[in-house]
Amino acid sequence: MASRGVPFLNRREVVPWVFMAPFLIFFLAFRVWPVISAFFLSFQDVQGIGVSEWTGLSNYAYLLKDPSFVKSMRNTTLYTIGILIMLVPLPLIYSQFLYSGVVARSNWIRLLIFLPVLTSLVVAGTVFRLLLAPDGILNTALTAIGLPGPRWLGVAELAVPSMVIVATWRWTGMNIIYFTSGLTNVPHEIFEAASIDGANGLQRFLHITVPMLKPVTVFVVTLTLIGGFQVFAEPYVLFSQGESPGQGGLTIALYLYRQAFRSFNMGYASTIGVVLALIIMAISLVQFRLFGFFSEEE
């Protein structure tokens, strides 16, 4: 009754939707609709613009025996495992050292470590192509200490490790910021009480820091997993348009790009995208389960 006589757009129950409308329109148009469209395209053989044939599960059946997809799945999994090892424990340890006050001028060091995040990935890829060249700085340093310099970008076996090196250099600083932000919320009294009880630095780290940073760790692991399985830019810029030797750097996202925009096989590319989304969803659910996020609080 109170809304009678009030212009429709000025009503209390309508105003929130008016402000949310631009976001909802863009979200539905550029997020929800492409997902729905890709799902339906995955059951079709798209032969051109507006020309398609319903093929059912044939794209999914071919996906299971496609050697290139199997290769990309293997490479992506290895890459994700590699960055999980490098981008979760190491930033956690670094952030503890920088926050503890043991390291002098930690703010400057934290800034320097964070700078690669601001660097264009195209520039970073070009620089690392020079660093990882047979006569690059890395191999020169290895040769100086008596170790053989491998062909980082020249053999399939070292394609994934090269990508992990780039990702570690680029994202370590960001994860240090995440963990440092979490450490600021840990009360100092807990560490002081543990020190009085005789706990050393390692014990305080394992029994106080790590458990208290569980929410941040879950956040970082989730971002790392999603970023690992969606990796595209690193192999594309590190190798010439992603053409790695022996397909050693072929990832799922890169294979999807080739099918969609080189072979123009939109139906099969949509199938790859749907399967990739399901993989990420399944891994995220398993991770939350392992961290106890679905357990009932007592």
The string of DSSP codes covering 70-106 is: HHHHHHHHHHHHHHHHHHTHHHHHHHHHHHHT-STTH
Cα 100 to Cα 94: distance, rounded to the nearest angstrom: 10
The CA distances from residue 76 to 11, 13, 159, in Å, are 51, 47, 11
pTM of the model as a whole: 0.84
Per-residue CA distances from 83 to 22, 76, 109, 258, 278 (Å): 37, 11, 22, 24, 21
List of domains in the chain: 59-119+156-290 (1.10.3720.10)
On the question of pLDDT at 128 being above 60, the answer is yes
Residues 6 or more apart whose Cβ sits within 8 Å of residue 235:
159, 163, 242, 244, 249, 250, 251, 254
Distance of alpha carbon 72 from alpha carbon 250, whole angstroms? 5
Among 82, 57, 38, smallest CA distance to 171 is for 82
pLDDT band of residue 186 (cuts 50, 70, 90) is confident
The residues with which 46 forms a beta bridge, in sequence order, are: 52
Residue 297 pLDDT greater than 60, yes or no: no
Give the pLDDT band of residue 141 (cuts 50, 70, 90).
Answer: confident
Report how far residue 176's alpha carbon sits from residue 87's, in angstroms, rounded to the nearest whole number. Answer: 9
Instruction: Categorize the per-residue pLDDT at 70 as very low, low, confident or very high, splitting at 50, 70 and 90.
Output: very high
Task: Say how far apart CA 63 and CA 55 lie, in whole Å.
Answer: 14
Higher-confidence position of 3 and 53: 53
pLDDT digits over 190-211, tens only? 877 888 877 777 787 888 888 8
> Both tokens of residue 83?
């960055």
